[in-house]
Amino acid sequence: MGDNRLMIKVTVNDRLYELQVDPELRLVDLLRDELGLTGTKEGCGKGECGACTIIMNGKTVNSCMVLAFQADGSEILTIEGMGDGEELHPIQEAFIRQGAVQCGYCTPGMVLSAKAILDKNPNPSEEEIRKGISGNLCRCTGYQKIVDAIKDAAEVMGGGGDER
Amino acid sequence: MKGNIVGHSVPKVDAKAKVTGKALYATDLYMEDMLYMQVLRAPYAHAVIRKIDLAQALAVPGIVRIITKEDLPGLKNHGLIFKDQPALVGIGEKVRFTGDTLAIVIGESNIQVRKAIKKIKVEYDKLEVITDPLRAMEEDAVTIHTAGNIVCTHKLDKGDIVRGFMEADLIVYNEFKTQHVEHITLQPDAGLATLEEDDTICIWAATQWLHDTRVDVAQAMGLPVEKIRIIQPAIGGAFGKREDIIAQLHLAIAVREVKRPVKTIYSREESIIATSKRHPMIFRFRTGVKKDGTLTAWEATVIGDTGAYASSGPAVVHKGLYHCTGPYDCPNVRGVAYTVYTNNTYAGAMRGFGATQTAFAYESQMDIIAEKLGINPIELRLKNAYQVGSTTPNGQKLYASVGVKETIIKAVEAFERLGGVIR
Ligand code: FES
Ligand code: FES
């Protein structure tokens, strides 16, 4: 290691980091092992489960499928950046209210996918919600409650209420 | 209702920690001076190990220690029901499936540890690999464990099976098979262990039966129970898989040797190879029934593949047998269940504990009977479903709260409400 390290600049949860990274380091490891942001989970390491979902430049990505240096210059939102530190984000509140959290291992990824759905369309149909979380597996299989939580959040956040 | 808990919707105690990403799972634990551990798994599903050459692996930079059975001659087997599973397989001993462990490798980084594992050379003599429990039960099959390939047999006898078949207008025989199912807990198997100043070993790992795991780890290592402490972090799914010891024993062995915190995270592939599954089962059902659909006799043979180690197998397969008629009352039942070793990954508890597999078989059998008799399958079920006063195959009298018929009726109503058509 050492010699071929790359210098990157990346903004994570509104904080700018300048970092030396190994060219083989994955983004999920950078976040978890080096920045201590363990809210991002790894479930498969293969782009299948969505546990490692983050929002990068406005789009959800599987952080296990991105190398850390590829994040150079990007803006990243992880679960730790949802809400404002004190207050929960309405999506997080809706997940609690609707009982959408079981073991919780899929939850950070689900919450970020939910955010991406609502950022794109504040008033999504059930089908759009289901499509939007189709890359996130929940092995405790609480999908219905997760869908309910996203609908609930949409309503609270001002969209929603429209049964399309 | 008084109070503010019973009858109220109460937020889950750790829901906030989970939606904010603050909940710590075993995968999320880090400690200063922490080392990483991975294990070398068996190169073949059934073989006698002749030589384990560590020289090249030990030369990989960052490798702190490699532990084999030769370092721990006193290590005892572990297991939930029978102590038949070794944490390490040594020279001259047998591996029984590809998840068996030959060496515990500990190093400064996970990358170095994985590199070292690839450099361990193993010599072994292959034995017949048995993947089919029917083969395992044959006279000339090689024995996977010294006592033979049938772990245990359970029997069931209710009423008079001969009379039951004599009363029948129709006898239906079928064989049903189910397959391995992997739990895929979303959190990969993982754990962290530390050695306290008084030599107590602390293990953080998702564990369903903390007290059993604690006792089993202690007995395997020949330590007093007080020297093992299991601490439960957040659990990223379990579904029965985490009733068995997974990484706990390897972590305890490792931390005792290196005296520094040791962490492990399995890859998904490793978890699939090395940890428990839902039992594949074979069901042979011979069912006697009258023209009007009344069940008169039910004969069952159940064969459960528990893989290389018994785990919860004896209880799971036994339960598969006891539920052989499902929620249907049959006055005359006879059955036998065999829990069988093979060289497949061991099978244990998983959501339903044997009853799930059986449901596939008896519900299929009921559908086939309905078709043969020309009776509506719902009617056939309602005719035979348990009610207060029914007796289960193992003789348990149901004296209250038997909701099967009501459930079937409501399910049919819901099906029709949603536009389903019953023919
Ligand atoms: S861990 Fe990245 S998709 Fe599963
Ligand atoms: S809550 Fe357990 S995986 Fe979704």
A42 touches chain B (CB under 8 A): yes
pLDDT digits (tens, 9 = 90+) for B315-348: 999 999 999 999 999 999 999 999 999 999 999 9
- Pick from B25, B115, B186 the residue to mutate for testing the A interface (most A CBs within 10 Å): B186
B23 touches chain A (CB under 8 A): yes
**Does residue B294 sit in the same domain as residue B345?**
yes
Q: Nearest residue on chain B to A110, judged by CA atoms?
A: B19
Residues of B in Cβ contact (< 8 Å) with A107: 18-19
**End of a domain among B237, B266, B295?**
B266
B20 touches chain A (CB under 8 A): yes
B207 touches chain A (CB under 8 A): no
| Inter-chain touch A96–B268, beta carbons under 8 Å | no
Pairing label, strands B47-53, A75-77: unpaired
**B157 CA → ligand 1 middle, Å:** 50
This model of the complex carries an ipTM of 0.95
pLDDT grade for A3, boundaries at 50, 70 and 90: low
Give the position of tokens 């520094």: B260
Alpha carbons A60 and B10: distance in angstroms, whole number = 31
B233 touches chain A (CB under 8 A): no
In this prediction, residue B395 carries a pLDDT of 93
**Does residue B105 sit in the same domain as residue B169?**
no
pLDDT digits (tens, 9 = 90+) for A14-65: 999 999 999 999 999 999 999 999 999 999 999 999 999 999 999 999 999 9
Q: Which long-range contacts (CB under 8 A, 24 or more apart) does A83-91 make?
A: A83/B20, A88/B16, A88/B19, A88/B20, A89/A115, A90/A153, A90/A156, A90/A157, A91/A115, A91/A118, A91/A149, A91/A150, A91/A153, A91/A157
Pairing label, strands B63-67, B101-107: antiparallel
B17 Cα to chain A: minimum distance (Å): 9
Of ligand 1's listed atoms, the one at least distance from the Cα of A49 is: 4
Residue A144: both structure tokens together: 């219905």
**End of a domain among B240, B266, B292?**
B266
**Does residue B223 sit in the same domain as residue B337?**
no
Alpha carbons B217 and B409: distance in angstroms, whole number = 49
**Does residue B73 sit in the same domain as residue B88?**
yes
| Inter-chain touch A138–B14, beta carbons under 8 Å | no
Please spell the DSSP secondary structure of A70-110, one letter per residue: GGTT-EEE-GGGSS-SSSPPHHHHHHHHTT--SS-SSHHHH
**Is the confidence at residue A91, as pLDDT, over 70?**
yes
A49 touches chain B (CB under 8 A): yes
Q: Looking at ligand 2, which residue's alpha carbon is closest to its atom 3?
A: A138
Query: Closest to B18 (Cβ–Cβ): which among A44, A80, A104?
Result: A104
> Is B337 inside a domain boundary?
yes
**Does residue B202 sit in the same domain as residue B331?**
no
**A142 CA → ligand 2 middle, Å:** 7
**A103 CA → ligand 2 middle, Å:** 5
Q: Ligand 1, from A29, A41, A52, A113: best to mutate by most atoms within 8 Å of Cβ?
A: A52
Residues of A in Cβ contact (< 8 Å) with B11: 96-97
Ligand nearest, relative to CA of residue A100: 2
Ligand nearest, relative to CA of residue A111: 2
User: What's the domain range around B235?
Assistant: 33-127+184-266
Q: What is the CATH number of the domain that holds B309?
A: 3.30.365.10
The number of beta carbons lying within 10 Å of the beta carbon of residue A21 is 21
Alpha carbons A51 and A112: distance in angstroms, whole number = 10
Number of domains in chain B: 2
Higher-pLDDT residue of A86, B91 = B91
Domains of chain A: 2-81 (3.10.20.30), 90-157 (1.10.150.120)
**Does residue B294 sit in the same domain as residue B169?**
yes
In this prediction, residue B274 carries a pLDDT of 98
B207 Cα to chain A: minimum distance (Å): 13
pLDDT digits (tens, 9 = 90+) for A55-72: 999 999 999 999 999 999
A112 touches chain B (CB under 8 A): no
Query: DSSP character for B44?
Result: S
B8 Cα to chain A: minimum distance (Å): 12
**End of a domain among B266, B289, B307?**
B266
Residues of B in Cβ contact (< 8 Å) with A36: 30
**A115 CA → ligand 2 middle, Å:** 18
B18 touches chain A (CB under 8 A): yes
**Does residue B337 sit in the same domain as residue B201?**
no
Query: Closest to B186 (Cβ–Cβ): which among A96, A99, A137?
Result: A137
A92 Cα to chain B: minimum distance (Å): 6
**A76 CA → ligand 1 middle, Å:** 17
**Is the confidence at residue A2, as pLDDT, over 60?**
no
> Is B338 inside a domain boundary?
yes
pLDDT averages per 10-residue partition of chain B, 423 residues: 81 94 97 97 98 98 98 97 98 98 97 97 98 97 97 97 98 98 98 98 96 97 98 97 97 98 97 98 98 98 98 97 97 98 98 96 98 97 98 95 97 94 80
Q: Ligand 2, from B185, B186, B239, B242: best to mutate by most atoms within 8 Å of Cβ?
A: B186
**Does residue B255 sit in the same domain as residue B166?**
no
**Does residue B178 sit in the same domain as residue B188?**
no
Residues framing ligand 2 (Cβ under 6 A)? A 102-106, 138-140, 142; B 186, 237
| Inter-chain touch B183–A139, beta carbons under 8 Å | yes
Residues framing ligand 1 (Cβ under 6 A)? A 42-45, 47-52, 62, 64
- Pick from A98, A101, A143 the residue to mutate for testing the B interface (most B CBs within 10 Å): A101
> Is B342 inside a domain boundary?
yes
> Is B3 inside a domain boundary?
no
Q: What is the mean pLDDT of chain A?
A: 94
> Is B112 inside a domain boundary?
yes
| Inter-chain touch B183–A79, beta carbons under 8 Å | no
Find all residues with CB under 8 Å of A15, minimum gap 6, and list them: none
**Does residue B190 sit in the same domain as residue B178?**
no
pLDDT grade for A164, boundaries at 50, 70 and 90: very low
| Inter-chain touch A88–B28, beta carbons under 8 Å | no
**Does residue B343 sit in the same domain as residue B412?**
yes
**Is the confidence at residue A162, as pLDDT, over 50?**
no
pLDDT digits (tens, 9 = 90+) for B91-148: 999 999 999 999 999 999 999 999 999 999 999 999 999 999 999 999 999 999 999 9
The number of residues in chain A equals 164
> Is B18 inside a domain boundary?
no
Q: What is the CATH number of the domain that holds B211?
A: 3.90.1170.50
**Does residue B218 sit in the same domain as residue B356?**
no
> Is B211 inside a domain boundary?
yes
| Alpha-carbon radius of gyration of chain B | 25
pTM beyond 0.90: yes
The answer to whether the CB of B114 falls within 8 A of the CB of B289 is: no
B208 Cα to chain A: minimum distance (Å): 13
